[in-house]
Chains A and B, each alone.
Chain A
Amino acid sequence: MKRMFSLLLAIAMVLTVLAACSNSSGDQMKNASNEPQSGGNATEMETVTIKFWRPNGNDAENAAINKLIENFEAQNPGIKVELENIPYDQYETKLRTALAGKTAADVIAIDSPTMSSYAYAGALYDLTPFFEADGNLEDIPDGIVESMKYNGKIYIAPLSEANIALFYNKKMFEAKGIPFPSKNVDEAWTWDQVLDAAKKLTDPANGIYGLDPAQGFGSGEGPAYFKMPIIWQFGGDVLSPDGTTAKGYLDSQESIDALTFYQSLYWKYKVSPLELPPDPFPTGKVAMFVDGSWSLPHFTNNFPNFKLGEDWDVAPLPKEKQQVMANGSWAFGINADTKHPEEAWKLINYITGTEGAKIYTDMAGGLPVRTSVVDQTPLMKEYPYNIFVEQLQKYSRPRPITPAYPAVSTAIRELFEDVGQGNRDVNAAVADAVKKIDRAIQELK
């Protein structure tokens, strides 16, 4: 009896270990498409297999990519695509280590701001001749084409984009008698108008703040994405146009003005919270909230009692001297070491081309990059999506394109933390940030 039990226990333990070991790297989808052979194999076509890596998305995004691969393989009988969906948090690390070890896939998803690091390291294939041949570059807005280039050469093809705007709580505005901001993209409020409204809306006794200007104090790439635009809006910049230094730009008077204004929201006027609870906007803790297009489905699906049009609305992102925000989302590049560049390009061109991008946008959401796709998607021309799309086309620009971008992003995040959370003297904090950035750029010379 005892032996039987021990034996069963041992078997159970071994099985558990095997089960845990097998599926450790997220979804491994071997494309087992057993397509019916049309007649006999008359042509001696060798099947080319392309490996494709991307970070795991939500169900809709994954389904969209699977569908696109299915279509692509049907249209290209000699090419097989082997997709691997890698857990989002591990993606960058896995990609970088694989590139270092020369084991990365042929087609790889690249987050636009990191593109220059990879291009600088020689990890990406030059796509310029491909785009010039059949990439239909004119279909992509200039601001976005800028984000695809490093040193004049194109290295990535964008699939879908994102954009940010000002979400506001209508009921709170009505209660305080504040007129709503215009929904017209060309009539954005200035930050002064926003501050005015925020002062009236802030109610410390009830724990309600008038404004969160840039998603609190998070981690990762978010802070740079939301906070750099504030510097741009005041007429400042982070790096020189040739990307060699921050001195003279991050510490210019305009940039300092931007940071001083940002700091005043937390410490002088106290209209912004130092700590954000989860989902502060739909739970009525913040009256005005700068957030991204990706939150539209999030609010609609998860907060059914908080209705668009009734309880809240979207207005264009505030401006100051300029109206501007960042672009650059997940795109696809080709591994410089690939043995099949033409086939890899065919795959990318299909997925990000008009046909593929339309299918993706319909199934997975996101803002389409190509004007041709926007024209075919009525949803993108209607409120509230039209605000994001028009801003993307007219007022977006890439974050600094430099191989030192990771250091720049971290320096900006820390700068805004210093000034916002730490209430540090703006000039001192900026001087520190300039030093950090310039040192990082120097190291990569």
Chain B
Amino acid sequence: MILGKSQSLRKGDEITGILFILPAFILLLVFVFIPMARAFYYSFTDYMLVSGSKTFVGFKNYVNLLQDSKFIASIKHTFYFAIIVIPVQSAIALGLALLVKPQYKYTGFFRTAFFVPVVISTAVAGTVFKLIYNRDFGLLNVLLGAVGIPKISFLSNADIAMNGVIILGIWKAAGFFMVVFLAGLNNVPHDLYESASVDGASKVKQFFYITLPLLKRTTAFVIIITTIDAFKLSGLVFVLTNGGPNSSTETIVYFIYKTAFEQMKMGYASAAAFILFFMILIISVFQMFFLRSKVNH
């Protein structure tokens, strides 16, 4: 760090800097860090909502959670969602960005069209897709029926319900990451492509040897954020399936919410929340390490 050169920083500047950060820091402290610390404390008690009774129970919540079949199932469902969504959604987002990058006459329209699902509220998206997925009367099965494909019951078949959630999730979020990739793509200097063409490289070769490597930082960002979002999935589940059919789409956050506010077991739910927190933390750190790139333009 260049602290050694700080004699050029006047005392007043330092204090001004701190004052600028202070409001945000206080907000973070009051609304994020302190509640987190309290929640961490609650996770070691059997705090029940309403009665407010708290008795210290040590690691009992954590131990019980690791044996709780519902919690384990919710972890499986969340991982299934994440493992499919992260690569597929990112690939689609990149594909869309490549399609939308060249400045043809109507690319602006398509760019907006792909981005609109991001802006639609989760509740609206979930409700509309619920109608589309309906087994007997939904648009999906009507179209499939017209082509002779047998019906898909996303909403009543426990084995494939999660796939319905995945499709909705990707449809909803891909546009956002398309914009991120677009920014990354626009940062690739045009002359690199020109000189590659001059050297006779095909478009495909250009993609793999110029575009992808220079997108590493953007890709890392996309993957990390998508991972975090995938693990926190709950809104779509609430509206589309409410955890069903047969609890086959219950995710970790859904489990936490139901345990805390329906079953009123706040201590237990807090412990589950922290297990999720550490899970995401470890995976994100791992990803950041793996995806670090020292590529300079």
Contact = CB atoms under 8 A, between A and B. Distances in A.
Interface stretch (B14-22, B218-226, B239-247): B239-247
Interface residues of B, number: 26
A126 interface: no
Nearest to A209: B136
Given A97-B49, A207-B136, A277-B136, A117 B156 contact: no
B51 A417 contact: no
Interface stretch (A32-40, A58-66, A168-176, A406-414): A406-414
A414 B247 contact: yes
Contacts of A6: none
B263 interface: yes
B232 interface: no
B25 interface: no
A414 B69 CA distance: 14
Given A93-B261, A285-B136, 17 more contacts: A96-B50, A118-B50, A120-B51, A121-B53, A207-B137, A274-B135, A275-B135, A277-B134, A277-B136, A277-B137, A285-B137, A406-B263, A414-B247, A417-B245, A421-B156, A421-B245, A422-B245
Interface string A74-108: 00000000000000000011001101110000000
A203 to B, nearest CB: 12
A92 B260 CA distance: 12
B211 interface: no
B263 A422 contact: no
A272 to B, nearest CB: 12
Closest 8 CB pairs of A and B: A121-B51, A219-B242, A274-B156, A275-B135, A121-B50, A100-B52, A96-B49, A275-B156
A403 to B, nearest CB: 9
Interface in A182-225: 207, 217-219
A417 B264 contact: no
A interface, size bucket: 20 to 34
Contact of A122 (B51, B131, B247): B51
Interface string B112-134: 00000000000000000001001
B53 to A, nearest CB: 8
B136 A121 contact: no
B55 to A, nearest CB: 12
A122 B53 CA distance: 10
Contacts of A219: 242-244
19 contacts: A92-B261, A93-B261, A96-B264, A97-B49, A100-B50, A118-B50, A207-B136, A217-B245, A219-B243, A274-B135, A275-B134, A275-B136, A275-B155, A277-B134, A406-B262, A410-B263, A421-B156, A422-B246, A440-B263
Identify the interface centre among A100, A217, A418: most chain B CB within 10 Å of its CB.
A100
A414 B243 CA distance: 11
B246 A117 contact: no
B206 interface: no
Contact of B153 (A122, A274, A422): A274
A202 to B, nearest CB: 13
Contacts of B158: 421-422
Interface in B237-282: 242-247, 258, 261-264
